[in-house]
Structure 1
Amino acid sequence: MAISTKHAPTPRATLKGRSFLTTEDFTREELSEVLDLAIQYKTLGHGRPLQGRSVALLFFDPSLRTRVSMEIAIQQLGGQAVVLDVGKGTWALEYREGVIMDGDRSEHIKEAARVLSRYVAAIGVRSFPALRSFEEERHDPVLRSFARYSTVPIINMESAMFHPLQAMADVMTIRETFGLVDQRRVVLCWAYHPKPLPMAVPNSFALIAAQFGMDLTIACPPEYELDPELMERIREHARRNGASVRVLHDRREACRGAEVIYAKSWGSRHYYGRWEEERKVRERYREWIVDEALMRLTAQGYFMHCLPVRRNVVVTDAVLDSERSLVIQQAENRLHVQKALLSMLL
């Protein structure tokens, strides 16, 4: 929704020129300013602060919500989205340093990032992990390579380790639902999925929940605990914000009295790149599904998921279609958060 510039909310300039790689690069106050503006945009509308400017969106991997919401966000702000499917509509890109490029990758990110920087005001990058080497991919090599060589802001549209745009939409949804987010009892609940999925969404939700002072419980089988180094930082953010973090391997105990159940599947770092070995472990936890019985243990809790979701595998129809399901609101809020962020960064 657009309104006249005269009455449009004005974004603060404190974030101008910065990249958005992970919420950890920003203070809670800065992130709250983005959410404040997103809520204003959603309720009051906005002007066209990107008039005459272009933003490149590079997709190494598939997308529905991210692609559509980013394109629409840029268009509604008056800008133009330039969407590129890497390796299909463009050259395949190399990110490794010092590599002999005699394979199937025709261009290095060193050149691609610097050239695009001459054309556009910002670059969005979506690049999933290859799920081969945890030690390499935990450092987000593709995203960090763009950030190193670009001279315009880089926006993380989901990388190997983080999905900060989704996390911001998640917090906006919780804030709209409860008003205050501090000390909200939220559970990040691992769920069975037939394939190993990236850790970006659970990493980002756990991180932002701690940054915003929520009492976080992570429910998962022992083989699926998150990266210990990240968990140390999450616990430190929680301590600074007067919140708590606990990890439980009993999902029923974890969900008892919760206000929000955030379901998500992810792969095991212990079996990273060894899918056939992990498959045997994963199959032992097929009962890890969010169903009505689990939701009855909560304090009339709400259900959240980033989508896409496999019905009756991750969550039952009854829970997903219930009045306590926030998944569509989460998806809508991606649009508003991204518009606010683009306005503040550019």
Structure 2
Amino acid sequence: MRHFLNTADWSRAELEAMLDDARAMKKAPLGDALKDKSVALLFLNNSLRTRTSFDIGARQLGGHAVTLSPSGGMWPLEFEDGVVMDGEAEEHVKEAATVLSRYCDMIGVRAFPKFVDWKEDRKDKVLNAFAKYSDVPVINMETITHPCQEMAHILALKEQFELEGRGALDGKKYVLTWTYHPKPLNTAVANSALMAAAKFGMDVTLLCPTPDYVLDERYMMQAEKDCRANGRKLTVTHNIEDAYKDAEIVYCKSWGALPYFGNWAPEKPIRDAHKHFIVDQKKLAMTNDALVSHCLPMRRNVKMTDAVFDGPNCIAYSEAENRLHVQKAIMKALVK
């Protein structure tokens, strides 16, 4: 039995096979690969695309999805082992995961970090607890990484470059750029984008305002390892012009600086001073006709201008659509 917790746990060949399957199902969406199968979708945080695409995807393959959330009457859960449960939690994850495993064939988990202590949040306790105690495959629907999103992202890039006759992803300059947001956000999408771009053979540039915004060393090291294995390089820069020059892909995302995790007041002035990192036409003109995308939801004219988002280079809608197809492929792979 395998889980789908991070793309780092799967080889490029395995991921490519899932993407090929996703493409096939995009052309012929209905099937019976999940006939008489069920998936429990546990949402501890908000969702629009993830909830909808998993539910529809399971149904299109003949299966059934059950959505669970705290607001929907689910018992508060305890995720620490060996604790005296005299607080708010009514049930331990061990019981919840075990029982759900007897009802369902897969469990999807969305649980954002608490944004208080990164040393604790980086342990990914909720996801790992379900993986530990579940007897069926567990899917990461976004915790401190977001592998489903990045599979959709990679598929959208492949499709668009092929449509334009611009070849494969290998060797292309991929820029992951930080953008301003009024709130400090999760690093999950950025972590996964960094690793996915490296795994799929691209030259990866991380653009962020200061060294404080460099991502966690776990993901930087994984990306560096994959870049080396593919004969590529990972570059970190704080210079907008250097990053955008000749870029073929620009992926924008906002995230909070890890050294300020849980103490966001001193970080806000740094964030506020870098609103000019917005993806706009002037920056896009520096690139090699780069494809641009974002995971959504996105604040228009904060992270990316209307002109860029609604322009011909942006593939965010295709990426969002591909969530449905790649997640069907992931579920199929896990129940084989």
Cα contact 1:86–1:93 (8 A) shared by 2: no
Aligned partner of 1:53 in structure 2 is 37
Q: Distance in 1 between matches of 2:72 and 2:37?
A: 25
Q: TM-score, normalized by length of structure 1?
A: 0.93
Aligned partner of 2:188 in structure 1 is 200
- Residue identity opposite 1:104 in structure 2: E
Deviation at 1:46, TM superposition (A): 4.5
Q: Distance in 2 between matches of 1:109 and 1:242?
A: 42
Query: What's the Cα RMSD here?
Result: 1.0
Of 60, 63, 67, the residue aligned with 1:79 is 63
Aligned partner of 2:4 in structure 1 is 20
Q: Which residues of 2 match residues 48-127 of structure 1 at below 5 A?
A: 48-86=32-70, 88-127=72-111
Q: Distance in 2 between matches of 1:233 and 1:53?
A: 34
Aligned partner of 2:262 in structure 1 is 273
- Residue identity opposite 2:6 in structure 1: T
Of 214, 218, 239, the residue aligned with 2:202 is 214
Q: Which residues of 2 match residues 295-310 of structure 1 at below 5 A?
A: 295-310=284-299
Deviation at 1:61, TM superposition (A): 0.2
**Counterpart of 1:262 in 2: which secondary structure?**
strand
Q: Distance in 2 between matches of 1:315 and 1:195?
A: 16
Q: Which residues of 2 match residues 166-185 of structure 1 at below 5 A?
A: 166-179=149-162, 180-185=168-173
Of 324, 327, 336, the residue aligned with 1:338 is 327
Q: Distance in 1 between matches of 2:316 and 2:242?
A: 24
Deviation at 1:86, TM superposition (A): 2.8
Aligned partner of 1:283 in structure 2 is 272
Of 174, 199, 203, the residue aligned with 1:186 is 174
- Residue identity opposite 2:184 in structure 1: P
Contiguous gaps of at least 5 residues in structure 1:
1-16
Moved over 6 A (4+): none
Is 1:326 equivalent to 2:315 in the alignment?
A: yes
Q: Distance in 1 between matches of 2:12 and 2:199?
A: 6
Is 1:33 equivalent to 2:20 in the alignment?
A: no
Q: Distance in 2 between matches of 1:301 and 1:210?
A: 17
Q: Distance in 2 between matches of 1:108 and 1:287?
A: 46
**Counterpart of 2:276 in 1: which secondary structure?**
coil
Q: Which residues of 2 match residues 186-265 of structure 1 at below 5 A?
A: 186-222=174-210, 223-265=212-254
Residue range with higher mean Cα deviation, 258-267 or 176-185: 176-185
Give the paired residue count: 329
Of 130, 134, 146, the residue aligned with 1:163 is 146
Q: 1:108 to 1:87 in 2, by over 3 A?
A: farther
Q: Distance in 2 between matches of 1:71 and 1:214?
A: 32
Contiguous gaps of at least 5 residues in structure 2:
163-167
- Residue identity opposite 1:93 in structure 2: L
Q: Distance in 2 between matches of 1:209 and 1:166?
A: 12
Aligned partner of 2:165 in structure 1 is none
Deviation at 1:278, TM superposition (A): 1.2
TM-superposition CA deviations, 1:162-184 (whole Å, max 9, x none) = 10000100111111112311111
Cα contact 1:185–1:258 (8 A) shared by 2: yes
- Residue identity opposite 1:215 in structure 2: D
Cα contact 2:109–2:140 (8 A) shared by 1: yes
Cα contact 2:278–2:304 (8 A) shared by 1: yes
Aligned partner of 1:12 in structure 2 is none
Deviation at 1:74, TM superposition (A): 0.3
Q: Distance in 2 between matches of 1:184 and 1:334?
A: 23
Cα contact 2:176–2:250 (8 A) shared by 1: yes
Q: TM-score, normalized by length of structure 2?
A: 0.96
Q: Distance in 1 between matches of 2:218 and 2:137?
A: 27
Q: Distance in 2 between matches of 1:33 and 1:138?
A: 29
Cα contact 2:29–2:60 (8 A) shared by 1: no
**Counterpart of 1:287 in 2: which secondary structure?**
helix
- Residue identity opposite 1:321 in structure 2: D
